[in-house]
Amino acid sequence: MGIHKIQMPAEILIGEGVTEKVGDVCKDLLLSGACLLVSGPKTMGIGGKRVSEVLSGAGYPVETEVVESIEKHELGKLIERAREYRFVVAVGGGRVIDIAKYASFRAGIPFISVPTAPSHDGIASPRATLSENHTNYSFLAHVPEAIVADTTIMAKAPQRLIAAGAGDMIGKLTAIEDWKLSSKVTGETFSDYASALTLLSANMVVDSAEMIRNREERGLRNLVESLISSSIAMCITGNSRPASGSEHMFSHALDSILPEGRRFHGEQVAIGCIMMSYLHGLPWQRIRATIREIGCPITASELGVGERDIVRALVLAGNIRKDRYTILEQKALNAQTAEELARKTGVIA
Ligand SMILES: [Zn+2]
């Protein structure tokens, strides 16, 4: 066995009001000099302003950049700007975190992640999802130096975002099956540790479904800790293999054929997971019931997409990442078998 290098966040703070500690975290990390705070139009008010005040109070000069688009070609200016600072702090949802993570990586400066919603597991992972010509791709970036996950802020996130985060976690059930399958068929390296950690996290969300739906503090904390643990599993492997399989390819395929809309990544992943569970021979009805329980859509119409689009995305999904072997490669769905799959699992009527 060769050398295995693992990069992890140096500090993770989870709890009520931990935003107030962000200055202390920067000091613990021995960060000095000016900070570029990246936030979104809405999340600036939700947490960005307060984080900026806390950092200023701790003696850090702070300037702010409000971002929205995740188009990769629009990031050049932000990368240039980031080079003028000593570190980047991102306060926002998945989009903001991904943009800031990638820009700080390209600028070669440390990155601190302050998520405002538990909506996906990019919170702590070394990867960033960005768009190129309106299609989302996952790019290598770097691991956040610290994660400051304030459950007081996250508890106020829209229910749909919380459910989407849980949906993204349930998607790991099929991601791990795909990885196991690939290790058998292609000989791809499989990590017992990373897969066990991911499954533990996914099952914690399954067991907490009711508490998550009811927005109970314990349920929310379990969800946030699961998302972070899943990210840590990605830090262990250095890629997104433990967290992203055929269910994610289905979601990426939907993104590539549909214009941007009010659909969330985790919702699409959850629907993909129902269908991929069926293909893998997992207890898909139970998985679907859990997804329903946490409040994620389980049908095309609930997701707000056409039935044709589901079928098209299923056919396309197998070609979305040729370097990643999944059940889709084995099943090689065509328009007819894809439609049958979507119908059998109740995703289309
Ligand atoms: Zn995901």
The per-residue pLDDT for 1 is 61
With beta carbons less than 8 A apart as the criterion, state whether 345 and 274 touch. yes
How far is the centre of ligand 1, averaged over its atoms, from the C-alpha of 33 (Å)?
34
> 3-state DSSP call for residue 148?
strand
- Side-chain-side CA neighbours of residue 110 (13 Å): 20
How far is the centre of ligand 1, averaged over its atoms, from the C-alpha of 124 (Å)?
12
With beta carbons less than 8 A apart as the criterion, state whether 268 and 250 touch. yes
User: Which of 139, 95, 118 lies closest to 260, judged by CA?
Assistant: 95
- Calculate the alpha carbon distances from 133 to 178, 255, 292, 344 in Å: 28, 11, 33, 33
Tell me, what DSSP letter sits at residue 63? E
How far is the centre of ligand 1, averaged over its atoms, from the C-alpha of 62 (Å)?
31
Tokens of 111: 């990155």
- Residue 186: Cβ-neighbour burial (10 angstroms; 0-12, 13-18, 19+): exposed
How far is the centre of ligand 1, averaged over its atoms, from the C-alpha of 117 (Å)?
14
- Beta strands 87-92; 62-66: pairing state: unpaired
CA 168 to chain centre: 7
How far is the centre of ligand 1, averaged over its atoms, from the C-alpha of 175 (Å)?
10
How far is the centre of ligand 1, averaged over its atoms, from the C-alpha of 31 (Å)?
30
> 3-state DSSP call for residue 231?
helix
Domains of the chain with bracketed CATH = 11-154 (3.40.50.1970), 159-344 (1.20.1090.10)
Tokens of 260: 């941007």
With beta carbons less than 8 A apart as the criterion, state whether 220 and 209 touch. no
Distance separating alpha carbons of residues 85 and 63, to the nearest angstrom: 9
How far is the centre of ligand 1, averaged over its atoms, from the C-alpha of 171 (Å)?
8
The per-residue pLDDT for 123 is 84
The per-residue pLDDT for 48 is 97
Which amino acid is located at 284 in the chain? W
How far is the centre of ligand 1, averaged over its atoms, from the C-alpha of 122 (Å)?
7
* Ordered per-residue pLDDT tens for the chain, 349 residues: 677 788 899 999 999 999 999 999 999 999 999 999 999 999 999 999 999 999 999 999 999 999 987 778 889 999 999 999 999 999 999 889 999 999 999 999 999 999 999 988 888 888 898 887 777 778 889 999 999 999 999 999 999 999 999 999 999 999 999 999 999 999 999 999 999 999 999 999 999 999 999 998 899 999 999 999 999 999 899 889 999 999 999 999 998 898 877 789 999 999 999 999 999 999 999 999 999 999 999 999 999 999 999 999 999 999 888 889 999 999 999 999 999 999 999 999 9
The per-residue pLDDT for 317 is 96
